[in-house]
């Protein structure tokens, strides 16, 4: 019998010495993830289109004895994205983790969408994600290491009326994740996606502020409730860290069983057979 190898399992989630860029880090899932990555030792660059929000989150991290700086970025602009990532590389000489979250959801039935509205959703959700991933990957491959985390959604596989275009972007991000992972794997860079379910963020406020709509969504998932943004931070830290070192090209669903549920009606079941 071979002796067991000595392995420090507690170090799997340690991000000390690593640089993590969180795009969309000024609120919601991005904010919670930025704070969590810093709590596990990373120096976090919190970037957002709203400069004040990014600055506030970075200050909050530093107040909790973490390491953080802030930056402004608009993922609809290639120049803005390239300047952000180039600045990170220039300041730190490396980029170990990328999380990008910005998205918009324009709830309209497909036949009512205008070309301009379609372009707006695609431009931010899909092309914005592409811009950030491309820029980060170009830095990571220089050191042959890194973890890229893209933001998909349970809507990538489960859609309702009024969400067709948003869902299409999230499904596209899932395939982009797989393609990037295949291309970047030989260069030492992992690419995965996180697909949240219903999370109480500024994006979903129109739903959570409507009691009937809020309750209907809560009933649809197996846990019977909405997630808080902080509940997405654990999966993000996992995907960023060595705990997921053999994971790439995967979409991790953190949806409380939403995509496993079949409708909202719970039928009566036959009584269990008596044991003999």
The partner residues of 190 in beta bridges, in order of sequence, read 147
Instruction: Check pLDDT > 70 for residue 76.
Output: yes
Residue 38: its pLDDT value, please?
98
Report the share of the chain in percent with pLDDT over 90.
Answer: 87
pLDDT (0 to 100) of residue 203 = 80
Whether 246 is a known active-site residue: answer no
Task: Using the predicted structure, report yes or no on whether residue 275 has a pLDDT greater than 60.
Answer: no
Domains of the chain: 14-252 (3.40.50.720)
The whole-model pTM stands at: 0.93
* Active-site annotation holder among 9, 113, 166, 217: 166
Question: How do residues 179-197 score in pLDDT, each as one tens digit?
Answer: 999 999 999 999 999 999 9
- For the residues 65-91, what does the mean pLDDT come to? 98
């Amino acid at each position: 019998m071979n002796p067991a190898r000595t392995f420090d399992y507690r170090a799997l989630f340690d991000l000390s010495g690593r640089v993590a860029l969180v795009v969309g880090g000024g609120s919601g899932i991005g904010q919670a993830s930025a704070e969590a990555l810093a709590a596990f030792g990373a120096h976090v660059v919190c970037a957002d289109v709203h400069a004040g929000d990014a600055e506030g989150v970075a200050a909050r991290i530093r107040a909790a004895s973490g390491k953080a700086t802030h930056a402004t970025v608009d993922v609809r602009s290639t120049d803005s994205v390239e300047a952000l990532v180039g600045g990170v590389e220039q300041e730190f000489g490396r980029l170990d983790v990328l999380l990008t979250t910005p998205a918009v959801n324009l709830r309209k039935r497909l036949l009512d969408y205008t070309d301009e509205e379609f372009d707006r959703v695609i431009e931010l959700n899909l092309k914005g994600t592409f811009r950030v991933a491309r820029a980060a990957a170009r830095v990571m491959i220089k050191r042959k290491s890194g973890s890229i985390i893209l933001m998909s959604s349970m809507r990538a596989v489960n859609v309702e009326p009024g969400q067709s275009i948003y869902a299409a972007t999230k499904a596209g991000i899932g395939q982009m994740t797989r393609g990037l992972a295949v291309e970047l794997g030989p260069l030492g860079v992992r690419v995965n996606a996180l697909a949240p379910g219903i999370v109480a963020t500024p994006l979903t406020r129109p739903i959570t502020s409507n009691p009937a709509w809020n309750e209907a969504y809560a009933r649809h998932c197996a846990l019977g409730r909405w997630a808080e943004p902080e509940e997405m931070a654990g999966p993000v830290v996992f995907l960023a860290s060595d705990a997921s070192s053999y994971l790439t090209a995967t979409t991790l669903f953190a949806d409380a069983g939403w995509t496993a549920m079949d409708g909202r009606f719970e039928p009566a079941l036959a009584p269990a057979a008596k044991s003999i």
